[in-house]
Chains A and B, each alone.
Chain A
Amino acid sequence: MNYLEHIGKYFIMLRRVFRRPQRSKVFYEALLKEIEDLGLKSLGIIMFISFFIGGVIALQTALNLDSPFIPDSLIGFAAKRSIILEFAPTFCSIILAGKVGSYITSSIGTMRVTEQIDALEVMGINSLNHLVLPKILATIFFYPFLISLGMFLGIFGGWVSGILSGLFSGADYIEGIQTDFNSFLLIYAIIKTLIFAFLIATVPSYHGYYVKGGSIAVGKASTQAVVWTTILIVISNYFLTQMLLT
């Protein structure tokens, strides 16, 4: 199957996904479960990575800006910009594409190969709407909070690294964070997050839903889903940056 066919099939899938749920109570229950599975269960890894990468960004900036003509507050400023613009929305989304993407593909793919999806269809249930729509809404609603937490912890990690290493003072770092604060950059980060969240939910769902074969096929589909989600995140990141910031 060529790429155009995959793209066409992906959009046909989306058309079936975006229908009114058959039972709002069942849908609401599924949405809460997906928020837990795709969002809350990713809190730990995002908090952990954000804190340490934030620390590393601040340390690297401090080590590479050792000229006496450059104020130490620039470390906080550079760390803040790096974390808000790229690390939190893009890097965290790529981590989520790996963790959540493989989970989505393998869970839907296993349902496909064990005929659970056929069982839904025979019952007269729109299986795509039932399985995929809660995932899309869960990621779109929850990931902005998750990424915002990543931003906060990344910046906080930078401050802690300065205090522990003694390379810059906490006061200089905070001054740098407050310098030239542009709220549009936060909006830009949230817009990117929303689009990446949509990709993280839909691309792995596509790979899982149309899998053919057995457990090996599900494993291959999971790998492909992570690769393609990452590629699409990187490509859309480029175009979004060009559209929103230039």
Chain B
Amino acid sequence: MIIIENLQKGFGEVEVLKDISATFHPGKTSLIIGQSGSGKTVFLKSLIGLHTPEEGTISFDGRINTKFSEKEKQQWRQEIGMVFQGSALFDSQTVEDNVMFPLKMLTNQSHAEMLGRVNFVLDRVNLENSNKKLPAELSGGMQKRVAIARAIVMNPKYLFCDEPNSGLDPQTAIVIDKLIQEITEEYKITTVINTHDMNSVMEIGEKIVFLKDGKKAWEGSSEEIFKTDNEAVVDFVYSSNLFKKVREAYLSGKK
């Protein structure tokens, strides 16, 4: 479980995150939503330790990450899987080498053991027979799957995804969403996803945190998001005509 209390982060004069508190549970897919520039990426990067918060605490199953020693930090990092927005695959390495890289660097497994694990996770993300391909030879959706495979190869306790659907067609985006949700439930991972894709909210959002101007403006489930009267959420969610119609249909069905 990840518990965030009164998180604050700024860059120079600019205050980006303002007093955010939230809790994310194991086996659940939690979504951070908000407009571009609302602080989602800074929030996620603060969670994974790429930014150091100025105020507040982030606790991972009772361990506060800002108080880790070097050794504890190293150990904690091995419990984290991260899927970056642009996949962040090492472009000079094959798919197999990309996925095997954390195992090579952080474990003492033999090559056969590592290869077995790599093949297992590649199968899990439905990417058989792509081991020897370079990232440039893959489609955007396949690159995202490789990134997910690399993120879960170390059996992480916490999985973070920064806009995993960006640049993907709606069909592939749903496949990626479902894959992340299945993995989360199967391995009881605490998963936090940054997104502004409302399809993801409807498909996999078990818990949603809405950020606006660096503040937590709303928190709830994907069902509650259709009932809320929170102005900021309504403005964000129903900016598209499609969702306006979905809401109207939902509310008329209720009546």
Query: A124: CB under 8 A from chain B?
Result: yes
Query: B22: CB under 8 A from chain A?
Result: no
Closest chain-A Cβ to B243's Cβ sits at a distance in Å of 30
Query: A125: CB under 8 A from chain B?
Result: yes
Contact pattern, A 121-133, Cβ under 8 Å of B = 1, otherwise 0: 1111100000000
Query: B85: CB under 8 A from chain A?
Result: yes
Contact residues in A for B105 (Cβ distance below 8 Å): 22-23, 26, 123, 125
Query: B86: CB under 8 A from chain A?
Result: yes
Among the listed stretches A43-51, A70-78, A110-118, which one makes contact with chain B, having 4 or more residues with CB under 8 Å of it?
Answer: A110-118
Contact residues in B for A119 (Cβ distance below 8 Å): 82, 84, 88, 90
Q: Please tell me if the beta carbons of B74 and A124 are within 8 angstroms of each other in the complex.
A: yes
List the count of A-B residue pairs having beta carbons below 8 Å apart: 48
Closest chain-B Cβ to A183's Cβ sits at a distance in Å of 42
Contact residues in B for A23 (Cβ distance below 8 Å): 104-105
Name A116's closest neighbour in chain B (CB-CB).
Answer: B88
Closest chain-A Cβ to B146's Cβ sits at a distance in Å of 12
Query: Which A residues fall within an 8 A CB radius of B?
Result: 22-23, 25-26, 114-116, 118-119, 121-125
Query: Which B residues fall within an 8 A CB radius of A?
Result: 45, 48-50, 73-74, 77-78, 80, 82, 84-86, 88-91, 101-102, 104-106
- A sample of 16 inter-chain contacts (CB < 8 A) reads A23-B105, A26-B105, A114-B86, A114-B88, A115-B88, A116-B88, A116-B91, A118-B45, A119-B84, A121-B50, A122-B80, A123-B77, A123-B101, A124-B74, A124-B77, A124-B78
14 A-B pairs besides A114-B91, A116-B89, A123-B106 with CB distance below 8 A are: A22-B105, A26-B104, A115-B84, A115-B86, A116-B88, A116-B91, A118-B50, A119-B82, A121-B49, A122-B50, A123-B78, A123-B105, A124-B77, A125-B106
